[in-house]
Chain A
Amino acid sequence: MNAARQTLSRETLAAIPAVTTRSDLSECLGRICAEAGAERFLLLGTLLDHGGERPYIIASNWIYDTVHILGLEPLARLSAGQRTCAIGEPAKPITGDGDGANAAGALQQLARHGHAEIYSVGLHATAQRCRALFSSGRVGAIDSQMLPQVQLACCYLLSRIPAELLGTPPPNSLSVRERECLRWVSEGKTTGEVAMILGVTANTVNSYLAHAIRKYGASNRAMAIATAIRSGTI
């Protein structure tokens, strides 16, 4: 690998703060990925919907047909199949090992559509969990040494875009009291204990929790707490 290609160029990094819209985002992403040898990018977010999580595209330069043929859900599963690579961890391409038979099939299909090698990385930027898929038509074209930088640059980019533009619900749609109740319950407190801590009645605590469960479209407390922890609300 060429030593001069180990870092993102100064011009590309300097372009990040100028990004304010989704089209800027796509353009800047394209530049960043190109520098690391990735032809295609797909940034996936997760919407918390009634009864579960629904993936959606934040930004992409994939040929839409490919997404359409494979389906967004299987792609999201593929990106989440392996343990998501956190920033600073060495990146490895998705192999489909241990991700079930579906993953291998999806990978074969992707290879036929010009995604010979795919990397999946986790992103921290909004309260939602986001992932990015980077791919290229030729195995070995992506400089895996550069992916941590690309990953970080993606996070910086997402930090530039207001959450509303990304189509995510505002991070703290719970009220302060609802969040407090959820947090205490997640610490193992019973309704009665939370009532005592907050100086309200047990009925009030239950009502706050019921609101939180409804807002998240969860079916019970455990699911509401899991959703809140995953989204970083508590």
Chain B
Amino acid sequence: MKHRTAKDGPAGPAKTRAAADGLDVTQENVAVVLDTVRHARRLAASAAASFYGLYVETRDRRIPGLATVFDREFPRTSDLSRAICGPAGMAWMATRTESLAPAWWYCETGAQQCPAFSLVSLGHNMPALTSNLPGLALPVFAEGGIGGFFVLAGRDMAVDDGLVCDLHIRAFSLFRSVARLRLSQLDGTPPMSKRELECLTMTAEGKTSEDIAAALGLSVHTTNQYLAATTHKLNAMSRTHAVAKALRLGLIA
């Protein structure tokens, strides 16, 4: 299997988009990525699903949507993923609340022909994402409130409540490892000192430089220097931006 590296040019429009939103495979992270994909494949196998895909919420666009991290056809992107990341996924995201409940869909040929979810009482039915396969969507979250979905689909899928729980827990771990990759990829953040993190945390609590200086027994000038250092290290435009970035990266709670 040949993997796209940062140096390779885009190999098609679909790929370029996936690279922009999803996961860039580089020499540093290729081992973790392959491992995660292998885990996903095992997860799918335990539910007898023929399709699996991991999707991450996109925040950088004005309308919430999903982007493919990887799917069964990794390192390419399948048609089903394109459907999930298209208008169908957007409609799906718009109706979604913060709920963690799993959602499943039957194929349009009729529920009786798809016994896959007759044993599942957890979660709820949702509009079909694809007309020819039943599937299951598990909402997942990672540090910094990044959300996404792990999707399984297949004609022969067989799951019950216990398996849904098990799959969901494993999907969480899967998503976390990928979310970490994406974050470290987006920001090669240099390590922060204890003082810098303290100042940043207090700034997130609405404290001014004067407040922080008084609380930590520093001069206002020193406090400002610490905060300027964090802003610089996080490659942020302003203090507020630095706070937002640090929270999303999970540097401060």
Contacts and interface: CB of A to CB of B under 8 A. Distances in A.
Interface residues of B, number: 45
Given A8-B165, A88-B170, A229 B145 contact: yes
Interface stretch (A20-28, A62-70, A96-104, A124-132): A124-132
B236 A188 contact: yes
Contact of A125 (B98, B122, B176): B98
B98 A153 contact: no
B160 interface: yes
Residue from the set A8, A17, A156, A185 with the largest chain B CB neighbour count within 10 Å:
A156
Given A125-B99, A186-B241, A225-B240, A156 B248 contact: no
A13 B243 contact: no
B50 interface: no
Contacts of B241: 185-188
B204 A88 contact: no
Contacts of A148: 169
Interface stretch (A33-41, A111-119, A199-207, A216-224): A216-224
Interface string A172-209: 00000000100101111110000000000000000000
Given A13-B121, A17-B122, A186-B244, A222 B162 contact: no
Interface in B138-193: 141-145, 147, 160-162, 165-166, 168-170, 172-173, 176
Contacts of A232: 98, 145, 147
A76 to B, nearest CB: 13
A167 interface: no
Given A88-B173, A188-B237, A220-B206, A226 B98 contact: no
Contact of A149 (B165, B239, B247): B165
Nearest to A220: B206
Contact of B141 (A124, A185, A190): A124
A86 interface: yes
A10 B161 contact: yes
Contacts, number: 121
A13 B161 contact: yes
A14 interface: yes
Given A124-B98, A125-B98, A229-B248, A222 B206 contact: yes
B78 interface: no
A152 interface: yes
Given A13-B165, A149-B165, A222-B206, A159 B99 contact: yes
B106 to A, nearest CB: 17
Contacts of B121: 13-14, 16-17
A127 B147 CA distance: 12
23 contacts: A7-B165, A7-B166, A8-B165, A13-B162, A14-B121, A16-B121, A17-B123, A52-B205, A87-B141, A88-B173, A125-B100, A153-B165, A156-B100, A158-B100, A185-B240, A190-B237, A190-B238, A219-B207, A220-B208, A226-B206, A226-B244, A229-B144, A230-B247
Given A14-B121, A218-B206, A222-B203, 18 more contacts: A8-B165, A17-B121, A86-B141, A87-B172, A88-B169, A89-B173, A124-B141, A125-B100, A149-B165, A152-B165, A158-B100, A159-B100, A188-B241, A220-B206, A221-B240, A222-B243, A223-B206, A232-B147
